[in-house]
Amino acid sequence: MAKKRKSKRPTEEVNSSSMADIAFLLLIFFLVTTTIVNEKGVRFVLPKKVENLTEDLKIPERNMLKVLLNSSNKMLVGGQVVSIERLKGKTKAFLSNRGKIKTLSDSPEKAIVSFKADRGSDFKTYLMVLDELKSSYHELRADYLNITNGEYLKLDPMDAEENALLKQAKAEFPATLSEAEPNDFKQ
Amino acid sequence: MGKFRKKSAVSQSIPTAALPDIIFILLFFFMVATKMRKADPKVVINEPIATQIQGIPETMETIDLFIGKPKDATKYGSAPLIQAGDKFIKPAALRTYISSAKSKLPRTKQSPGKIIINIKMDEKLPIGILIDVKQELRKMGFRNLNYTALKQTEQ
């Protein structure tokens, strides 16, 4: 055996070059096994279940905007055929009328938007209409708070300050978007 | 100016000691940003586009329902079906599914008011099946829905 000389001794370091490979393997494993789950969407609250519909609610005609969607994806708003592009304008005019025009609502609190879709209409159109109706409410609320629609959507109900704003806007424009009971008809 | 002399003793290798750290940062990013899917959809779902997209609050729990045509048409047929968990169910069986899914959630989050039913439905389907599901959910008192949709990009 040869004598060891101090100057030739290798550096005392743990070889960490394979560490990167291990980390890569872990990374690839996670990339393969997980998917970025899209859980964002359009939120909607269903109306309460009514046990007996014998009681007729007396709602004046002017405070009710009826939106009907048929199986060929055509829309009837307040008795008129309306295209999807004009729905938002119509709804906003109806909601923010405050008694000015005779045929539209008395006040935002009393105004009710009733949406009824046929079983044969497709989900894409259904959601588009729902989205437009929601955006009418959201835009009116956002205008009331002097913020943009995008900012309104980001308001966090967990944050005390932002929740106060939300409550304020909701008090001004309560979302009385209701979905009418479906008829028991088959196409 | 001096002459350039070829250095001989300098090692040519790139130091790779920091490489694992970089990879680990990437790894942690993916671990945080992604979420394990509870069930794999066995139905074809093309999500519709919407503008009023909102996330689900972190305090709420979700139960997923997939509605679409089966990917495996030879086995399950081509009629739209409701997938709950790993199984296809009829609207009438929703009650049993939801109550069993509910019992798996933390005890404080089992009331219908704290649960959002997350509906993923194919955009081309007629909504008849969805109406049945909604009527069933209303009977049970689960009224919070989320229709999964993609955000419309501004043009």
Q: What is the pLDDT along chain B (155 residues), one digit of tens a residue?
A: 666 766 666 667 777 778 788 888 888 887 777 766 667 788 888 888 888 888 888 788 888 899 999 988 888 888 889 998 888 888 888 889 988 888 888 888 888 888 889 899 998 999 888 988 988 888 888 888 899 888 877 55
Asked if residue A6 has pLDDT above 60, the reply is no
- Which chain A residue lies closest to B151 (C-alpha atoms)? A41
Q: Do B26 and A27 touch (CB under 8 A)?
A: yes
Q: What percent of chain A has pLDDT over 70?
A: 82
User: Which range, of A97-101, A128-132, A134-138, A148-152, averages the lowest pLDDT?
Assistant: A97-101
Chain A residues 34-93 with a CB less than 8 Å from chain B: 34-49, 71
Does A157 score more than 80 pLDDT?
no
Q: Residue A186: pLDDT above 50?
A: no
Q: Which residues of B touch A39 (CB under 8 A)?
A: 35, 55-56, 62, 118, 146, 148
Is A24 near chain B, with CB under 8 Å? yes
CB contact under 8 A, A42 and B54: yes
Contact A43 B23 (CB under 8 A): no
Q: Are B84 and B96 in contact (CB under 8 A)?
A: no
Average pLDDT over residues A30-55: 73
> Is B51 in Cβ contact with A127 (below 8 Å)?
no
pLDDT band for A94, please (50, 70, 90 cuts).
Answer: confident
Q: Is the pLDDT of residue A54 over 60?
A: no
Residue A99: is its pLDDT beyond 80?
no
The alpha helices in A34-116, defined as continuous H runs, are 84-95
CB contact under 8 A, B30 and A182: no
Q: pLDDT tier at A112 (50, 70, 90 boundaries)?
A: confident
Shortest Cα–Cα distance, A102 to chain B (Å): 30
Of A36, A40, A44, the CB nearest to B145: A44
CB B127 to CB A123 under 8 A?
Answer: yes
Tell me which chain A residues have a C-beta less than 8 angstroms from the C-beta of B18: none
Interface pTM, i.e. ipTM: 0.76
* A162-183 mean pLDDT: 78
Q: What is the pLDDT of residue A187?
A: 38
pLDDT value at position A56? 60
Contact between chains at B27 and A134 (C-beta distance less than 8 A): no
Residues recorded for chain A: 187
Beta strands in chain A (DSSP E): 41-45, 64-69, 75-77, 80-81, 112-117, 177-179
Q: What angle do CA B102, B105, B106 make, to 5 degrees?
A: 135
Q: Which of A48, A122, A134 sits opposite B124 (nearest CB)?
A: A122
Distance, in Å, from the CA atom of B131 to the CA atom of B119, rounded to the nearest integer, reads 12
Q: Are A166 and A153 in contact (CB under 8 A)?
A: no
Which residue from B36, B34, B37, B26 is spatially nearest to A26, judged by alpha carbons? B26
Residues facing residue B63 across a β-bridge: B117
pLDDT at A64: 81
**Contact across the interface for A41 and B121, Cβ inside 8 Å:** no
pLDDT at A170 over 50: yes
pTM for the full model? Answer: 0.76
